[in-house]
Amino acid sequence: DFENEPDHDALAAQNETVSRLAPAHDAVLFSDYGKGGLAHIPVMIEAARHAGRPVLVDPKGSDYTRYAGATVITPNRSEMQQVVGSWRDDAELARKAQDLRQQLKLEAVLVTLSEAGMTLFDEAGSLHVDAQAREVFDVTGAGDTVIATLAALVGAGLPLREAMPLANKAGGIVVGKFGTATVSYEELFK
């Protein structure tokens, strides 16, 4: 792994693969690591949405216009601040998140706030869920767990507002484990 950006042919093949595979899946999840692999993400979002699939994006960088048209993006606090600037209180965060949501034509923005939980901003307003009270051993993969759980539940037909508390719970479970960890169905629903 030399951290080289993929060449044009590889990215074009990736676009074709997403267009071909999206109709056969219940949800599409893109996790942007800022390495160039999602250079054509607008085309892939459009293909997945054309297939009628929800698109969930874990964003990266300071320009979120490339994620326009996705169903939901899930920035953490610092990623959100890179894009909209800092905020003084919850009301200002809500204004900035709703402005971003409308500007990008997203159904929702889910801001993960570490120990403060997470807040979903959608057309109906906002929904906040506090973090699950537990001892934190390792935050590795918590954001990945949240969006993966959210994608699985949305793909199964749950609305974002019902899926978000379960995704929050899943994130709380993995931070209570050492190293990169997973959450079982039994852990999530006990």
Q: Which residues are catalytic?
A: 144
Rg (CA), the chain: 16
Q: What's the CA gap between 28 and 30, in Å, rounded?
A: 7
**DSSP class of 155:** H
165 Cβ partners below 8 Å, 6+ apart?
Answer: 129
Three-state SS across 45-93? HHHHHHCCCCEEEECCCCCCHHHCCCCEECCEHHHHHHHHCCCCCHHHH
116 Cβ partners below 8 Å, 6+ apart?
Answer: 130, 131
